[in-house]
Amino acid sequence: MSSLRIGIIGAGGIFKTRHLPGLRQIPDVQVVAVCNRSRESGEAVAREWDIPEVLTDWKALLAREDLDAAFIGTWPYTHAQMSVTALEAGKHVFCQARMARNSAEARRMVAAADAHPKQVAMLCPPPAGMRGDRLIRKLIAEGFLGEPREVHATGLSAGNLDPEAPLHWRQDFELQGFNTLTLGMWIEVIHRWMGPHRAVSAMLKTHTPRRKDSATGELREVRIAESVAIAAELENGAIGAYTFSGVTRFAPHNTIQLYGTEGTLLYDLETDEIRGARTGDAAAQVIPIPPDLVREWTVEADFVRSIREGAPVEPSFRDGLLYMEFTEAVYRSHVEGRAVSLPLAD
């Protein structure tokens, strides 16, 4: 496919700062239509990026026969319906993370992708951990860790610390579902490096249980946790200890730490610095990322390459289902007061 025509549903901040500039750099790719919640916002994006047509009905956009692919940038509560409709209409799909609200919606997306294998169905990967991804995978494949023993990860911020702040869309369960802080993103990275999980046990806390809805002025229940403590087991036998928070001021850099019988790898998710040590070393040292192993965040080009050349799709909808099941299992574990096995039952 030499010429690729793309339509966008939900052209928000990440599209204007990343996806639209990225698409503009790819030869023979044209964004031909945009559909936002309001015509006014759609027209503003169209003017800025020279997009020929503005629509207000996303179904009409996906029904266009001259459209090859759809970029979906709306909130998670629409992702399943839009992705399934796009695939059934013969379109390739790039869906912004977070994948969906829950594992049931994610399974619908996977089923649609499986039913239309000629279409590319890709999720937007997190930029965290991307730059050193190839090096980490290479080191693990070469036996740097030995047998895996533990994985530790932190996703700490102070974004939810102010109790007077209004309800953000990321705290709205109807829009977000079980997606919480950076939990899904970090788990996606851990899955790439260490494989999937077998069981999850979690404790959650929402410190500000009600926040004001800025649209209505009413106080609404906050069902998405602000502190998350997780103990988990991976299929490779390692134990995971994960902490996520929106109420930690002055927290240190977030990391993913991998421990094995022969070595340790420490990844700083904010600086992309990798430190490692093996048996006999006095301390962990910086492991530079070789230029040929640097992986840039080129998601738009990756998506187009998968369409044109059949390059591997990463992350796929099935990859997304893995982190959606993990995220939902965290909440089930807390509510039920027990460890939850993975994968979840349909």
Specify the CATH number for the domain of residue 270.
Answer: 3.30.360.10
Q: What are phi and psi of 144, to 5 degrees?
A: -55, -40
- Paired tokens of 166: 């209004």
Question: 173-182 as b/e, with b when 16 or more CB fall inside 10 Å?
Answer: eebbbbbbbb
- Give yes or no: residues 26 and 165 share one domain: no
Chain segment 125-149, per-residue pLDDT in tens: 999 999 999 999 999 999 999 999 9
Q: List the beta strands (DSSP E) in 181-313.
A: 197-205, 210-212, 219-221, 227-234, 239-245, 255-260, 263-268, 274-278, 285-286
Amino acid identity for residue 264 in this structure: T
Same domain, 288 and 304: no
Polymer length of the chain: 346
pLDDT (average), residues 67-81: 98
User: Is residue 66 domain-shared with residue 167, that is, in the same domain?
Assistant: no
Do residue 103 and residue 150 come from a single domain?
A: no
Contact status, residue 174 vs residue 77, Cβ threshold 8 Å: yes
pLDDT of residue 72: 98
Instruction: Give the C-alpha separation, 107 to 124, whole Å.
Output: 17
Question: What's the DSSP call for residue 166?
Answer: P
Q: Are 211 and 246 in contact (CB under 8 A)?
A: no
- 291 and 306 housed in the same domain: no
How large a percentage of the chain has pLDDT more than 90? Answer: 99
Mean pLDDT of 297-324: 97
Give residue 70's pLDDT.
98
Considering the domain architecture, whether residues 145 and 199 belong to the same structural domain is answered as yes
Confidence of residue 228 (pLDDT cuts 50, 70, 90): very high
- Give the residue carrying structure tokens 């040929």: 292
* Residue 27, pLDDT above cutoff 80: yes
**Do residue 114 and residue 249 come from a single domain?**
no
Q: Are residues 93 and 188 in the same domain?
A: no
Residues 6+ apart with CB under 8 A from 188: 97, 125, 126, 315, 319, 320, 322, 323
* Residue 346 included in any domain: no
Distance of CA 59 to the CA centre of its chain: 24
In a 13 Å sphere around the CA of 206, the CA atoms on its Cβ side amount to 17
Whole-number Å distance between alpha carbons of 183 and 176: 13
What is the H or E stretch that residue 48 is in? helix 39-49
Asked if residue 270 lies in contact with residue 254, where contact means CB atoms within 8 angstroms, the answer is yes
Rounded to a whole number of angstroms, the distance between the first and last alpha carbons of the chain is: 37
Query: Same domain for 92 and 147?
Result: no
Q: Mean pLDDT in the chain?
A: 97
Residue 174 and residue 94 share a domain: no
Q: What is the 3-state secondary structure (H, E, C) of 72-104?
A: ECCCHHHHHHHHHHHHHCCCEEEECCCCCCCHH
Taking the C-alpha atoms of residue 45 and residue 32, their distance in angstroms, rounded to an integer, is 12
d(CA 12, CA 287): 37
Please compute the mean of the pLDDT values over residues 45-73 and round it to a whole number.
97
Whether 1 has a pLDDT exceeding 70, the answer reads no
CATH (domain of 77) = 3.40.50.720
Give the mean model confidence (pLDDT) for residues 246-271: 98
303, two tokens: 């998506």
Residues 6+ apart with CB under 8 A from 227: 204, 205, 206, 207, 244, 245, 246, 247
- When mean pLDDT is compared across 1-15, 20-34, 186-200, the lowest value belongs to 1-15
Q: Is the pLDDT score of 82 beyond 70?
A: yes
154 and 16 belong to one structural domain: no
Q: Is the pLDDT of residue 50 over 90?
A: yes
**Could you give the number of structural domains in the chain?**
2
As given in the structure block, the two tokens for residue 207 are 């410190």
Give me the domain span that covers residue 273. Answer: 133-295+324-341
Among left, alpha and beta (phi > 0; psi -120 to 50; other), residue 90 is: left
Tokens at residue 86, please?
A: 């796009």
Place 289 in a pLDDT band, splitting at 50, 70 and 90: very high
Phi/psi at 306 (5° precision): -65, -35
Peptide linkage before 108 cis (omega within 30 of 0): no
User: 328 and 188: one domain?
Assistant: yes
CB 234 within 8 A of CB 151: yes
Average pLDDT over residues 17-25: 96
Q: Which two three-digit tokens encode residue 56?
A: 């207000």
Tell me how far apart the 2 most distant CA atoms of the chain are, in Å.
Answer: 63
Residue 345's pLDDT band (boundaries 50, 70, 90)?
Answer: confident
